[in-house]
Chain A
Amino acid sequence: RLAASPPPPAGSATTDMRMSTLTELFADLEPIPQDEGPEPIVRIAYPEGFQTVMDYFRRVLVNGEYSERTLKLSGEVIARNAANYTAWQFRRKCIEVLHADATPEERQRAWRDELEYCGKRGLENLKNYQVWFHRRSCVSNLGDGSRELAFVEEILAEDSKNYHAWGYRQWVLARFGLWEGELDFIGRLLREDVRNNSAWNQRYFVLKATADLASPELLAAEAEFAEGHIELSPTNPSPWNYLRGLLEPVGYDAVPRVRAMCEERAAAGGAQPGSDGGRVMAMGLLVDVLLASGSREELDRSRALCKALGEMDPIRAAYWRWRGSRIGV
């Protein structure tokens, strides 16, 4: 096969074209070597085959040839560097050009094939911007996102916080209106890992798009949801941040239970070996709650809390000192 070449870099597709086949296929073209200027420095030691592929790719880019053979060539480029964004954009152009006069069915077929290609590259390159953007293009062109949530779920099963996966999932949900079932999905993820902050972020995202974040019923229900998860792991910042994010815009008195919960946890006594029982988290949120109420006593109390936090949470001492200084200003 590629006898003289070293194996393809880890994480790339197996290249399916021998260099002899490639040079035959493009025998009519003159490859363009990379121009590294008159005095190259830090020259990359490309594996054999890489340069050949890129030399021909440069030529077809210059020629503007969008064809079956150049589509194949782009695959060879991507196999050797999945982050070559030019090659991905080139693929999209090829598919458009090749099917400019095709029937809708033929175009659908082409984008489905491309989505399959994209899926394989995606599983090999989980943190690659180009693969995920390409997927959006394919799915947009297909106008069908019905299988996408399952695909993302597969990725998240391997890496539950994959940033690209979550961003793409948000796009699919909004684009195709597939909101139903998402809160359940988030619930499942939180049962697996209550500290999955991406899942918490997703919950906010879903509610913001589908519900009224100022509704007292919703706020009470969400506060209860958050509190239940604080119960499971009181030092976990995610539900505390979620509570703060939900209530700060509308006012903490929308759900009086929250202040009560903070007071309970802020009082000493919940500590266990290795955990302060959520005391620092609770005190931090209590500062915000008291500030919002604004009475003289409560401002004094929040200042005192900041002072205490400066000692209990020393990495943030300067921050707590500043916060304390801003109270009542």
Chain B
Amino acid sequence: MSMVDEPLYPIAVLIDELKNDDVQLRLNSIRRLSTIARALGEERTRKELIPFLSDNNDDDDEVLLAMAEELGVFIPYVGGVEHAHVLLPPLETHCTVEETCVRDKAVESLCRIGSQMRESDLVDYFIPLVKRLAAGEWFTARVSACGLFQIAYPSAPDMLKLELRSVYNQLCQDDMPMVRRSAATNLGKFAATVEPAHLKSDVMPMFEALTQDDQDSVRLLAVEGCAALGKLLEPQDCVAHILPVIVNFSQDKSWRVRYMVANQLYELCEAVGPEPTRTDLVPAYVRLLRDNEAEVRIAAAGKVSKFCRILSPELAIQHILPCVKELSSDSSQHVRSALASVIMGMASILGKEATTEQLLPIFLSLLKDEFPDVRLNIISKLDQVNQVIGIDLLSQSLLPAIVELAEDRHWRVRLAIIEYIPLLASQLGVGFFDDKLGALCMQWLQDKVYSIRDAAANNLKRLAEEFGPEWAMQLIVPQVLEMMTNPHYLYRMTILHAISLLAPVLGSEITCSHLLPVITNASKDRYLFPAFTCDLSSAQLDLMTDPRSYVDRVPNIKFNVAKVLQSLVPIVDSSVVEKTIRPCLVELNEDPDVDVRFFANQALQSIEHVMMSS
């Protein structure tokens, strides 16, 4: 064992730990692989480190994954692009491991390295690697091979190109479904590099074979290839070759395949052009919207707006709208929910007249849906409709829907509607809000569930931002401060939280005049009760008689007061800090409760800090 110079000691440890028994230490070393490489120098990295790493293929997955990732950006450490090929062997072994995420990362890194390699090196090193993997004994190697053709193919000479195409064809017909799935997944990327002449003669037959695969899981992935291939082909070829396939797929026996078609169909419309869209794709889409399987209808309903955007409004009104009407009363709540989340987007496509006449009744019926998610989804996209027809037409139905959601027994539903309140407020305007929704916002502050109270406090802040401090001063602040008298300390904590959120929005003046007194009052109980029998100053007497001057004995309130006071320091004037905040904190700093003293002390220190720096 040699001794190492002091400054090199950490790097020496790092190198040794490449082989430590502890996975975590090995992982740390691998993550610092670039440091190790720099310490060894480029030549020894090439000649020693990389072969050393190549031997290490039965390490834990986490280590292999990290290594595959590091090697992807390792070109600078091996001496630049002309030496990039030395990185291929370790990644090639990573391409064969059985853990999918390691293989995927290795393929990604290989593609990254390959895209920087010199053309001659690609032919000498990269293409043979792809061929070796494609002929691998185990399916794992062949799965990885499929993802590398897109890099290998463009720089191959013609003869090799011919061979690579035939190798890919083999992979598309592999015995193992895993390999065929990988071939189907990567077909689009590979096809993008193939010359147009061979696209039709070689790639299309592969694609057709995949579309007729026995395994549903392979056909599913072939569907995804449709759009990618369609975009590469001339429109007339696309109509001749892709369109029949997709129309077939849309009637596949397997609902999972139809589900994929429903998700992808709109992407194909552009590739085939308007006329085939009208004659073939619209009927296919209408069939999917009326599919027997709810999952398929969910996927199709979720794409209604995207699909209509490609069509002319007339076509959409004539063919799609009737289906949308049916879906709005679908037996599956998830279908209605998917529809509700996108249907508002149709308003801008169909225009004002059609929206008012046709869509509005659907909106209204969805707003009355028994399932809260459906109603929430409509409300969440209200702004899209507002731009087209204005919100007045909806507002009468909105209110009952909102009130019902606001009182839903599931707190998650209440939480969701609170989050939309600022959006609603901005769309509906101050007047509507004051009349109908203001009371709800206050009610949430006293919800039984913490998350709702927390969200309610946040909501007040966002409303104050929306409507301005003066509005807040009139309609929010008095009611909020009123609640400080709530006998339950948890509710008072919510109010403290709300105050701390509102203060920055309302500004220094209102904070000093209205918020600060309430906070300081909340900290003072320790004096008041014992002092009750002694002589009270008139100010204290005022506090006692004023209902807002409720004073707090709960330590949780008191240390939250300290926290809030700390947050107010940057907002208010330094004289206020000295006159009001600091004395209050000094008092709290004498509190019998250790937590109260801790936070009071913390706040005092931060005041010192602010004062020092200013």
A-B interaction: no
B residues contacting A by CB (< 8 A) are none
